[in-house]
Amino acid sequence: MWDIFISYAHIDNQHYSGIPQGWVDYLQERLEIRLAQLLGRPPRIWRDTRNLRGNLNFQNQINNDLADVAVFISILSPRYLNRNSLDGKC
């Protein structure tokens, strides 16, 4: 069972010059810290961290994992909303 599934477009997590991580990475890091404090254990957070890319069909894996997720976080952005019309490259 997953505690959280984070859905986002990869372009929204790009690193700015001089900053070591994207803001989605930072969000996950902060969620992990705070939830560990509240739960008394490290949370299980699932997201596509480059191992599943746009040219691979991973919809079945996402559908299976969503059945076991307590919280779904969708980061809506123009890129995220247009991902299906842009040849699947997120």
Taking only the tens of pLDDT, the chain with its 90 residues reads 889 999 888 888 988 888 888 999 999 999 999 999 999 999 999 887 655 555 455 567 677 777 889 999 988 888 878 876 554 444
pTM: 0.72
Domain assignment of residue 53, given as a range: 2-85
The verdict on residue 67 lying in a domain is yes
The residue type of 66 is L
The span from the CA of 32 to the CA of 56, in Å, is 28
Quote the number of domains for the chain.
Answer: 1
The continuous run of DSSP H or E covering 47 comes out as: strand 45-47
* 46 within 8 A of 5, measured Cβ to Cβ: yes
The verdict on residue 90 lying in a domain is no
